[in-house]
Structure 1
Amino acid sequence: MSNRQRSLSLTMPLELLRVLCGDTVTVTVIYNRSMEPKAIVSPAERTKALTSSFDAEVRPLIDLVDKLRGYGLDRDIHLPSVAVIGDQSAGKSSVLEAISGVQLPRGTGIVTRCPLEMRMKHSEDKDMWEGKIMYKDKHDMHHEEVILNRESVGDLVRKAQNKMTDGAKGISDNLITLEVTSSDVPDLTVIDLPGIARNAVDGQPVDIEARIKDMIRKYVKRQETIILAVLQCNVDIATCEALKMAKEFDGEGGRTLGVLTKPDLLDKGAETSVMRILNNMEFTLSKGYIIVKCRGQEAVSEGQSLKQALDVEEDFFRSHRHFSSLRPSQWGIPNLSERLSRELKKHIKKLLPELKEDVRRKLLETEKQLHDLGEDPPETASEKRQMALQMVTKFINIATALTTGQRCDDTKFPPEINNLYSNSRRSFTELIKTAERKQPDTKNHELRTDLQQRMDSSRGREFCNFGGKFELVESYARDYISKLEAPALQCFSAVHSMTTEILKIVAEKCFEKFPDFAQRAKDVIMKTRKDTNHECKEDIQSYFEMENLVYSQDKTYGVELRSEEEKKRKEKDEERERKQKNATKFHIQIDSDSENDEDVNGVDKVLMSLTSYYLVAARRLCDVIPMIIQQHVFRKQVKGMQILLMDIASDERTMVHIQEDPDMAYMRNECKSRHQRLLLAEEELDKI
C-alpha cells in the first residue's frame, strides 16, 4: 500500500478522507451481509426517488379507490385510505408538501380546518404538472376549479376552507379533494386531518378540541384506514395526542406508521431517546417509524424550493452524528413516500375481496329498499287517478284478506296485522267463558230454596204436582241472558278497536307515498267505524231483545234436557251405591221409602229445565254475537270503505292529494343515488 493509500473505516466522512489522503482515494469495501448497504443517491437521482414506488399494480389500485371515493361510495362503505393525524403544528402539512411538491396553507394555530384528500398521480412526462380542487361549500354548492400552477395551491385550499366553514377559525367535516399529476409525485392518496388543538382561540368554538377529535375518530377507528401519525421529535412522545388516539383504535399498532418531524430542533443529548423510538424500543408500532426533515417557515421565507429541501434533508441525515447510523429506509421524505405507496397498495389488495362483498351486499339492500319505495310518483292527472285506484284496490284487497282470516306476506307491512282474525277469535272465546261463568249453579242450595219459595208463592188451588212452572223458568232465563249483554258489547268494542287500528296501519303503508291521501283514507276508516259502531250495537241489542222470548226448538231443547236427565240419573245411582256401601260397612239398614222419594213438587225438574235452556241460549248467543260482529266490522265496514275510497280516488279534486311526501321523495332520490354509485363501484371492482 502506497503512502497515498490507507485502510480506513467507511464510517469516516468522505471529506475527512480527502483531507487525510489527498484527492485520490481508493476505498476498499468489505461487504457484511448482516449490514444493510447505505447507497449514495446522486442529486440528479434524488428527486426521482419520490416516484420509486410506481409499478404496474399501484396506479390501478389507487385509481380504483379514488374513483370509488369520487362516486361517493365512502358514504356507504369504508374505503381503504391513509389518514394523516398529528398535534397542532406537528408538521403534517410540511410532510405533505414535501411528498406532493405543492405548498399548502401555513401559519399558526389550526391551519388544516377541513379534511384534505390529496390524490397524487405520477406522470412519466417530466414537464407535466396538473392540478384540480373540488369541494362543497357550507351551502352544499359544488365547486371544481382547475389549478394553473402549483404556487397557487395554498391560496385555493385556504379559499375553499373559508367557504366551507363559518368564519376563518371554524372547521368542517366535509372533504376537500386536491388532485395533483406530476412527474415528481408518487402514486398515492392521503387524507390530511386538522391538527389536534387543546385550547380554543378567539373566533373558534369552545369545544374545538372535542370536535377535531371526533372528526379524527371517524377515520382512524375504521379498520380500512392506515394511520400516519406525525410526531415532533422535540416533544415528549408520551404526551402526543395523535399517538394516543392511534393507540386507542389500533392497540397493536398494526395500522399505524409513525413519522417524526423537526429533528433539527432537538436539544443536545435528546437524540438517544429519538433513536430508541425510531428503533421501536419505546412505543412499539408494527409498521415502525420514519424520521424526516422538512422546510421550516424560515426556509420558505428565504425561497428554498421543495427540491432543494430534499438535498438539505439528505445532507442533514448523512452527516448527523447520531442519525447517520440509521438504515436509509428509516429516514427521508423519498423513503416515506415509497413506504406509504407500498403500504397503501398492500392494504387495498388485502381489503379488495371484503370490499367487493360489501358492495354486493349494499347493492342488494338498496335494490330492496328501492322496491319497497315503489316507482316515482305520477305527474299527469290521469296517471294520478290510475295510481289512486290501484292503491285503493290494494288496500281493500289486504283488508278483505285480513278480515277473512288470510295472511298478508308482504314484508312492507308489520307482521302483527296478520293477528287480526286470531285475536278476534280470542275475544269470541272469552265471550264463551264469560257465559259459562255467569251461568247460575242449579245445584246451589240458595237457588233451590229461592225457586221453591217462588213456586210455593205462585201456587193456586191445584195439586202439588200440577204447578204451572214455565213462567218461573222464563224469568230465570231472562235474568241470565241480560247479564251477557254487557260482555257481548265489550267483545264487539274490543274487535272493532283492534280492526280500526290495523286498518290504519295498512292504510299508512298502502298510501305512505302520499300523506294527504293517507289521511283521507284514515278519515274514511273513522267514518265507517262510526257507522258500523251504531249499526252493530243496534243489532246486538235487538238480538238480546229477541232472546227475551226464551224460545228453543223442541228437538234442540230436548237433546239438552235428556242429557241433563241422564246426568241426574247417574248422579242418583252413584249416590245410592255410595250409601249402600256405607250401610253395609257399618251394618245399617237403609229405609227403602227414602230411596224412592220422588220430587213431588217438581223442583228438580224445573232446575233441569233451567240448566238445559241456559246451555241452549249460551251456545246460540256465543255463535250469533260473533257473526253479527263479523258481518258489520269485517264485511260491511270494508265494503263501505271500498265505496267511499273508490269515489275519492275517482274525484278530480282528489288529485291534489296525490303529492308525495318530501321526506319520501328525498329518501327515494338518496336511494337512487346510492344505487347508481354502487353499480359504478361494482363495475370498477369487477375490472380488478
Structure 2
Amino acid sequence: MGRAKKRNGYSTPTTLSADNTEPKTIVSPEERTKALASSFDAEVRPLIDLVDKLRGYGLDRDINLPAVAVIGDQSAGKSSVLEAISGVQLPRGTGIVTRCPLEMRMKHSEDEDKWEGKIMYKDKHDMPHEEVILNRESVGDLVRKAQKEMTDGATGISDELITLEVMSSDVPDLTVIDLPGIARNAVEGQPFDIEARIKNMIRQYIQRQETIILAVLQCNVDIATCEALKMAKEFDDEGGRTLGVLTKPDLLDKGAETGVIRILNNMEFTLSKGYVIVKCRGQEAISEGQSLKHALDVEEDFFRSHRHFSAMRPSQWGIPNLSERLSRELKKHIKKLLPELKEDVRRKLLETEKQLHDLGEDPPQTASEKRQMALQMVTEFINIVTALTTGQRCDDSKFPPIINNLYSDARRSFTELIKTAEEIQPDTKNHKLRTDLQKRMEASRGREFCNFLGKFELVESCAQEYISKLEEPALQCFSDVHSMTTEILKIVAEKCFEKFPDFAQRAKDVIMKTRKETNSECKDEIQRYFKMENLVYSQDKTYGVEFRTEEEKKRKEEEEEKETETEERGKISHSDRFSF
C-alpha cells in the first residue's frame, strides 16, 4: 500500500472502502477527528445537550436518561481510551485509579485555539465544588483531588458523580460515564467487599435499557475471563446495547492475533454493535512526552503496517472510528428514546406539580407574615397534642389514624402495671406466708416480753421486699409511655410543619432534646417515690383505717359466734325440758 503526499505532517494513503469496490482516501487522525466532530455537531450536539441539561438538573435520580457507560476490568485501559478521545490526560496507575463515576461531557469547538474545561462534584460532606480548568495538563490532578475529597482516604470508592466538561476543536460531541475498574481482590486499606461494591455501582448504570455499554477488554487476556463482558451479557444478553473495545494489541503474543481477529469479526462472543480495536499510548510513551495527537499517528501506523491487522476494514480500528461509532450510537439511542423520555418527564412534572399543590399557597415573603405562619403552625401542633393527651380524637385526614392510639395505648400500659402489682402483692390469708412470717419472727426474737409482737424491722423488711418488686415494672411502664408519646409527637410535628421540612426537622430535634432531658428527671422522680414508700410508716391514715376496719370485722365475727352459741344452748335446754 503506497503512501501519498504528506500534509500537515501526516501521510494521506489510499485504501479500499469497506465493500472493497472503490478506493477511499484516509486522512490524518487530526483531520479525521475534526471532520468527525464537525459532521456530527449540527445533529448530535442538541440531543446530547438536552440529556446533559436534564442530568444537570438531577433528573437522572428520577428517570433513566440515555448514557454511555464505560466498564472494564481493572487496568483494562479504560482511562487510556477516554483520554485518547477527550485529549486530556486522566489519572493513571496500578490498582483502582477511577474511584468515582466520571461523567465526561465533550463539546466540539470550531475555534482551533480554544480549550475550556470545568470540573464539578460534591465532597463527602455533600458540599458542592466547581472549578474552571485553565489548561488540559492539570485535569488529572484535579480529578485525583476530587476523588480524594469524595472518598475516605486514598483507597475508598464513592457512588457520587464527578462531572468533567471539555470544549476543544479536537474532541467529538460526546458524553460518556467512566466507571471504576472491576477489582478481584481488596488491597491494603480497601474495604474487603470492594469487588461487590464496584459491581453494584456498575449494575446501577448498565441494567438500565437506556444505557449503551462500552466494554473495554484487553487483547492479551482470555476474553472468556473478562468480568466486564460477563456483566454486560448479564443485562444485555443479545448484545444490542454493548460495543466492545479491544485494547493493548501491541502486547499480544505471536500467534494470538488470529483469535483477536475472530473476536473483531464477531465470530466468538457476538455483540450486535460489534467490536473496535484501539492502541493507546502506554506509560513509556507518556514518560517520553508523546502527545495525544502524535499517539493517533502512531496508532494508525501500527494498524496499517501490522501483518495481521492491516487486512481489517478501517472502520474496525482506531480512536477516531471509535469516536464516530459512539457518537452515532448515542445519537440513535437518544432519538429512539426521546418519545419515552418526553413521557417520563411529563409524568414526573405532573407528580411534582401535585406535590406543590399539596403544599398549599406560596410561603410568606415578609417577616411579619412568616412569624404569623410559624405561630399558626406551632399553635396547631400544641392544640392537637393537648387533645391527644386528654383522650380526644383528631379526625383531620392529613394526620395518620395511629396518633389517636396515644391515650388508649398509655392506659393499657398503666393497666398492665396495675395487673403486675396485684400479682406481686402478698396474700395475707395464705397459710404458707403466715408460716414463713412466724418462722422469721421466731428466728428474730431477743429480749421481748411475753405476748409482744416480733421486731418492727421484720415487718418493715417484708413490706420493702414487695415495694422493690414494683420498681422495675413501674420504670418499664414509664419508658413505654415515654417512647410512645415521643413517636406520636414526631409524627404530629412532621405533619403540622410538612410545608417546611427544615422547620419540621427542628421541631423533631426539640422533641428529642426534651425527651432526653425529661427522661432522667422522670425516672429520678419515680425512684424518689419508691424511696419514700420504703420508709414504712404505721401511723398514716390508710394503715390506721384498714387496721380498725379489720379489728371491727374481727369483733363482729366474734359477737356473731357468741350469739350463735347462745342460741344453740337455748335450743338444747328447751328440748331437754320437754323430754321428761
TM over 0.5: yes
Q: Percent of aligned positions with the same letter in both sequences?
A: 78
Q: Secondary structure at the match of 2:203?
A: helix
Change (3 A) 1:518 1:367: farther
CA contact (8 A) 1:115 1:174 kept: yes
Structure 1 match to 2:330 = 344
Correspondence 1:383 to 2:383: no
The Cα of 1:14 is off from its aligned counterpart by: 2.6
Partner Cα distance (2:510, 2:294) in 1: 71
Structure 2 match to 1:89 = 75
Partner Cα distance (2:385, 2:493) in 1: 10
Partner Cα distance (2:114, 2:495) in 1: 60
Change (3 A) 1:506 1:160: closer
Structure 1 match to 2:434 = none
Q: Which amino acid aligns with 2:255?
A: G
Partner Cα distance (2:202, 2:509) in 1: 46
CA contact (8 A) 1:130 1:147 kept: yes
The Cα of 1:362 is off from its aligned counterpart by: 1.4
Structure 1 match to 2:273 = 287
The Cα of 1:176 is off from its aligned counterpart by: 0.8
Equivalent position to 2:55, from 62, 65, 69: 69
Structure 2 match to 1:39 = 24
Q: Please list every run of 5 or more consecutive structure 2 residues that lacks an aligned counterpart in the other structure.
A: 5-12, 387-391, 405-487, 499-503, 512-580
Correspondence 1:126 to 2:112: yes
CA contact (8 A) 1:91 1:261 kept: yes
Q: Which amino acid aligns with 2:101?
A: P
Q: Which amino acid aligns with 1:275?
A: I
CA contact (8 A) 1:198 1:209 kept: yes
Structure 2 match to 1:528 = none
Partner Cα distance (1:252, 1:271) in 2: 25
The Cα of 1:384 is off from its aligned counterpart by: 3.4
Partner Cα distance (1:518, 1:127) in 2: 59
Partner Cα distance (1:81, 1:73) in 2: 13
The Cα of 1:154 is off from its aligned counterpart by: 0.9
CA contact (8 A) 1:86 1:231 kept: yes
Residue by residue over 1:327-379, the C-alpha shift from the partner in whole angstroms, topping out at 9 and shown as x without a partner, is 11111100000110111111111111111111121122223233444565997
> Which range moves more in the overlay, 185-194 or 359-368?
359-368
> Which range moves more in the overlay, 243-252 or 507-516?
507-516
Correspondence 1:193 to 2:183: no
The Cα of 1:323 is off from its aligned counterpart by: 1.2
Q: Which amino acid aligns with 2:104?
A: M
The Cα of 1:137 is off from its aligned counterpart by: 1.1
Residue by residue over 1:530-579, the C-alpha shift from the partner in whole angstroms, topping out at 9 and shown as x without a partner, is xxxxxxxxxxxxxxxxxxxxxxxxxxxxxxxxxxxxxxxxxxxxxxxxxx
1:235-634 aligned at under 5 Å gives the runs 235-374=221-360, 376=363, 380-387=370-377, 412=398, 511=496, 513=498
Change (3 A) 1:186 1:248: same
Structure 1 match to 2:436 = none
Change (3 A) 1:53 1:259: farther
CA contact (8 A) 2:38 2:108 kept: no
1:191-230 aligned at under 5 Å gives the runs 191-230=177-216
Residue by residue over 1:117-172, the C-alpha shift from the partner in whole angstroms, topping out at 9 and shown as x without a partner, is 11000000111111111111111111111111111111111111111111111111
CA contact (8 A) 1:100 1:185 kept: yes
Change (3 A) 1:417 1:133: closer
Q: Which amino acid aligns with 1:42?
A: V
Q: Which amino acid aligns with 2:343?
A: E
The Cα of 1:277 is off from its aligned counterpart by: 0.7
Residue by residue over 1:197-222, the C-alpha shift from the partner in whole angstroms, topping out at 9 and shown as x without a partner, is 10111121111111111111111011
CA contact (8 A) 1:38 1:327 kept: no
Partner Cα distance (1:174, 1:273) in 2: 38
Change (3 A) 1:355 1:208: same
The Cα of 1:45 is off from its aligned counterpart by: 2.7
Structure 2 match to 1:432 = none
Partner Cα distance (1:516, 1:104) in 2: 46
Change (3 A) 1:385 1:34: closer
Change (3 A) 1:382 1:95: closer
Equivalent position to 1:60, from 39, 46, 71: 46
The size of the alignment, in residue pairs, is: 410
The Cα of 1:322 is off from its aligned counterpart by: 1.5
Structure 2 match to 1:144 = 130
Q: Secondary structure at the match of 1:14?
A: coil
The Cα of 1:47 is off from its aligned counterpart by: 4.5
The Cα of 1:71 is off from its aligned counterpart by: 1.3
Residue by residue over 1:156-196, the C-alpha shift from the partner in whole angstroms, topping out at 9 and shown as x without a partner, is 11111111111111111111111110000000000001111
Change (3 A) 1:208 1:151: same
Structure 1 match to 2:420 = none
CA contact (8 A) 1:224 1:351 kept: yes
Larger RCO (alpha carbons 8 Å, 6+ apart): 1
Partner Cα distance (2:301, 2:292) in 1: 14
Structure 1 match to 2:549 = none
Partner Cα distance (1:178, 1:32) in 2: 36
The Cα of 1:414 is off from its aligned counterpart by: 6.0
TM-score, structure 2 length as denominator? Answer: 0.64
CA contact (8 A) 1:105 1:112 kept: yes
Structure 1 match to 2:577 = none
Correspondence 1:108 to 2:94: yes
Q: Which amino acid aligns with 1:383?
A: M
Structure 1 match to 2:10 = none
Q: Which amino acid aligns with 1:364?
A: L
Equivalent position to 2:144, from 155, 158, 165: 158
Residue by residue over 1:375-425, the C-alpha shift from the partner in whole angstroms, topping out at 9 and shown as x without a partner, is 6599755333444567899999xxxxx99xxx98x6x4669999xxxxxxx
Change (3 A) 1:61 1:389: same
Structure 1 match to 2:435 = none
Partner Cα distance (2:32, 2:489) in 1: 75
Partner Cα distance (2:258, 2:133) in 1: 44
Q: Secondary structure at the match of 1:88?
A: coil
Change (3 A) 1:517 1:75: closer
Q: Which amino acid aligns with 2:94?
A: T
Correspondence 1:233 to 2:219: yes
Q: Secondary structure at the match of 1:299?
A: helix
Change (3 A) 1:52 1:289: farther
RMSD: 3.7
Structure 1 match to 2:501 = none
Q: Please list every run of 5 or more consecutive structure 1 residues that lacks an aligned counterpart in the other structure.
A: 1-12, 18-26, 397-401, 419-502, 520-688
The Cα of 1:41 is off from its aligned counterpart by: 2.0
CA contact (8 A) 2:493 2:508 kept: no
Residue by residue over 1:499-533, the C-alpha shift from the partner in whole angstroms, topping out at 9 and shown as x without a partner, is xxxx99996886364667999xxxxxxxxxxxxxx
Residue by residue over 1:629-661, the C-alpha shift from the partner in whole angstroms, topping out at 9 and shown as x without a partner, is xxxxxxxxxxxxxxxxxxxxxxxxxxxxxxxxx
Residue by residue over 1:427-458, the C-alpha shift from the partner in whole angstroms, topping out at 9 and shown as x without a partner, is xxxxxxxxxxxxxxxxxxxxxxxxxxxxxxxx
The Cα of 1:272 is off from its aligned counterpart by: 1.0
Q: Secondary structure at the match of 2:42?
A: coil
Change (3 A) 1:508 1:145: closer
